[in-house]
Structure 1
Amino acid sequence: MTDLYPAIALIFSPVAAAMAFLIVYDEYQRHFTERKNALKIALKAALATFIFFNILLFLFLQAVRFLR
């Protein structure tokens, strides 16, 4: 099961990060006149989402391994 961690992380974490980027960018481009500010905030949100999902997946798989 833990052998699947890299495959799952490589597939779902970037997808989640891309979705977070699109949602945040779409919302913040309405609030900022400069595109640069909205882009910076959206990239930070995407990076935070990517890291969060990787940590969450790692902890879940460690818990599964521990319970076996």
Structure 2
Amino acid sequence: MAASALMVVPFTKFLPLINEIGNFFNEIIELVEAAEHNKRTCEILKNRVHVAELAVRDLREKRKDRGDFF
């Protein structure tokens, strides 16, 4: 009785689903790679802003000592 309830589904019916899952997987990989790139870019920008801030602080301190230069 249970054997008669089984239905055979051709593999070709699953191909669109398999392709769609593959497309989602590829899109996720691209997003992760973009996020990693953005993270590195933001870290570099943060470091550059920090260096610029230190330079401005240094100039402010030296302005008091070398008023003729500024």
- Give the TM-score, by structure 2 length: 0.49
The structure with the largest alpha-carbon Rg is 2
Structure with larger RCO (C-alpha < 8 A, sep 6+): 1
* Larger helix share, 1 or 2: 1
